[in-house]
């Protein structure tokens, strides 16, 4: 089961800050589904994943929502 993190309405840099906070407390293998309506979220979360080494399983879009699925390494 993926943990859902709803970051709708938050502007840069808050979505990645809150992601980092959630990942700090998580255990290896935990899966997160992160929802944001910040247009910059897609490049930001992609960069965050590649820099921190947490695998980005996929990004989907639903209207103005961007949903990223990430596993904690």
Partner 1 sequence: MSTDTEVSSQAQALEERIAKLEEKNGNLTMALLSGDFDKAMGAFIIANGALAMGKEVSIFVTFWGLDVIKKPSFSTAGRGFLEKMVLWMRPKGPGKLPTSKMNFAGIGPKLFNFMMKQKNVEGLGSLITMSQEFGVKIIACQMSMDLMGIKKEDLIDGVEVGGVAAFLSESYKSNTTLFI
Nearer Cβ to partner 1 (51/62): 51
Q: What is the DSSP string of the chain?
A: -PEEEE-TTPPTTHHHHHHHHHHHHPPTT-EEEEEE--TTHHHHHHHHHHHHT--EEEEEEETTEEEEEEE--
Using the rule CB under 8 A, is 20 a contact of partner 1? Answer: yes
Identify which range of 17-25, 27-35, 58-66 contacts partner 1 by CB under 8 A. Answer: 17-25
Among candidate residues 12, 14, 17, 20, the one labeled active-site is: 12
Chain position carrying tokens 């490049």: 43
Binding residues among 34-63 for partner 1 as defined by CB under 8 A: 47-48, 51-52
Using the rule CB under 8 A, is 65 a contact of partner 1? Answer: no
């Amino acid at each position: 089961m993926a943990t859902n993190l709803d970051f709708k309405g938050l502007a840069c840099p808050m979505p990645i800050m809150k992601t980092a906070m959630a990942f700090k407390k998580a255990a290896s293998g935990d899966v997160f589904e992160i929802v944001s309506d910040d247009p910059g979220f897609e490049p930001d979360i992609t960069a965050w994943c590649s820099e921190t080494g947490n695998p980005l399983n996929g990004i989907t879009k639903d209207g103005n929502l961007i949903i990223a699925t990430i596993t904690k390494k």
